[in-house]
Amino acid sequence: MKRLAFLLLTLAACDPQVVVDKTIARTAESVIANVTGSDVAVCVVDNAQQPELEILARDIGVQAGTRTKAIIRGVLSRPETQKCLTRAHLATPDLT
């Protein structure tokens, strides 16, 4: 009975929107990784805005188009993304 109570409290503490946002971020990360590599993708996801991640996540399973690459380039150009890449000893990929 105590386990059930603990489980219910744990589930009640989960915010469904947080779960959705994390799922979108992980999906977007896989799309970005196909364009930039997985290490760079982490920095992009960490510095992208939620609407950008939602657009990127829609490209799962298809080849990245110009809009996807433009969003990734935009996020890569941000100072915080550049700092992330520098800390990870990564170069900004050429997305031309």
Domain ranges of the chain: 15-87
Average pLDDT along the chain, 96 residues, taken 10 residues at a time: 56 72 94 96 98 95 91 97 97 90
This prediction has a pTM of: 0.81
Residues 6+ apart with CB under 8 A from 76: 36, 40, 44, 82, 85, 92, 93, 95
What pLDDT, on the 0 to 100 scale, is given for residue 81? 98
What pLDDT, on the 0 to 100 scale, is given for residue 91? 95
